[in-house]
Amino acid sequence: MSGPTIERRIFIVGVPRSGTTLVQSLLAAHSRLTSFTESHFFSRHFRPQPWMATPWLRRDPSPRVHEFLAENHITPSTVASAAGHFPLDQRRSGWFLFRQGPTVGRQLLQLLDAMAAVRGQSCWVEKTPKHLHYLPMLDQLCRGGPRTHFVHVLRGGLETVASLHRASQDWPTSYDLATCVERWNRDMALSLRRSRRRVASSSTDHFLCYEDLTRRPESVLRRLLNELVLPWEPEILVRYRASSKSLITRRETWKTEVERPMRPSATSRQTLSDGQRRWVDGKLRHDLYQQLRQRLAGTSPR
């Protein structure tokens, strides 16, 4: 298979319901980028091991690979060099899976590269919010390859928790408010830790706030595209609602609101009682979010 050389890989990460689908749709509307449905490649098939350099592969990702290709209307034969069955057998020992982890991880990245090339693009955007928990592993797997960018989408805790709690009622496993609060607190801590990185790396982290994006979409997008070394295209602000349609599967009904006009939301007042709002507000680590916002303000153009 021939196609453009991949120049850039972009991962969008963050707490679910923080605006990640909106950011993905906006970037997917750029003429130099292509994007896909959520892959879940790493969050479902690998176990992060912070104390080990090698990712631990938990299960064979081949079934998900073929499902993912179908969601994105690409046949396995089109990307045969990257989309074939992986050399795994779930009956093999854990040691066998461990040894295969880095190889399979790189194959999954090459699959995304191949899908972008099939579409005639040299840069792709992948959005699976939970991949935030796998960034050290992705740092390792992407080393030596195309430039890699991680875009962290941030949103205030109360509204994110309320939206996550409501959306999860349509998921196989629903989240109670305590679980939603714990996820937001943990993810803010992970993003804050990444914002403090000082070591040289082949990857770059970028941060944007949902509240800023919905109030000042052009200025926030201009800054992000500048960091991604991509030109500004005003048509993005019109095309993004159409681009979102190819990024959402039929069962992801909770995402369809991205097709509505962009504006801040107040989900918590619509879905939580006053007592629930007070309880959630008292459990959230607002200090983490404020630190991230302050760091973001320090890097914004004057």
Amino acid making up residue 276: Q
- Tell me how far apart the alpha carbons of residues 54 and 141 are, in angstroms, rounded to a whole number: 9
Contact predicate 11/33, CB 8 Å: no
Domain edges within the chain: 7-32+126-302, 34-120
Task: Round the CA-based radius of gyration of the chain to a whole number and report it.
Answer: 19
Kindly tell me if the per-residue pLDDT of 98 is higher than 60.
no
Contact predicate 33/120, CB 8 Å: no
Q: Helix or strand or coil: residue 284?
A: coil
Fold for domain 7-32+126-302?
Rossmann fold (3.40.50)
Q: Label residue 265 by pLDDT band (50, 70, 90).
A: confident
What the block records as the tokens of 205 is 């982290």
Q: Label residue 254 by pLDDT band (50, 70, 90).
A: confident
Contact predicate 268/162, CB 8 Å: yes
Report the share of the chain in percent with pLDDT over 90: 62
- Mean pLDDT for the chain overall: 87
Kindly tell me if the per-residue pLDDT of 251 is higher than 70.
yes
What the block records as the tokens of 168 is 């999860």
* Main-chain dihedrals φ then ψ at residue 14, nearest 5 degrees: 150, -175
Q: What is the pLDDT of residue 86?
A: 56
Lowest pLDDT segment from 25-29, 44-48, 228-232, 276-280: 44-48
End-to-end CA distance of the chain: 46
The H or E element containing residue 34 is strand 34-35
- Burial category of 295 from C-beta neighbours within 10 Å (exposed 0-12, middle 13-18, buried 19 and up): middle
Distance set, CA 218 to CA 36, 171, 212 (Å): 23, 33, 10
Residue 105's closest CA among 65, 153, 51, 152?
65
Cα dihedral 60, 49, 157, 172, rounded to 10, equals: 30
Global pTM value:
0.91
Q: Does 218 or 264 have the greater pLDDT score?
A: 218
pLDDT, mean of residues 172-196: 95
The H or E element containing residue 220 is helix 217-227
The DSSP symbol for 216 reads S
Q: How many CB atoms lie within 10 A of CB 111?
A: 22
What the block records as the tokens of 162 is 């309320």
Question: Could you report the per-residue pLDDT of 187-201, keeping only the tens digit for each?
Answer: 999 999 999 876 556
Question: Could you report the per-residue pLDDT of 42-97, keeping only the tens digit for each?
Answer: 999 998 766 555 678 888 888 899 899 999 999 888 887 555 555 555 455 554 55
Q: What is the pLDDT of residue 59?
A: 84
Amino acid making up residue 243: S
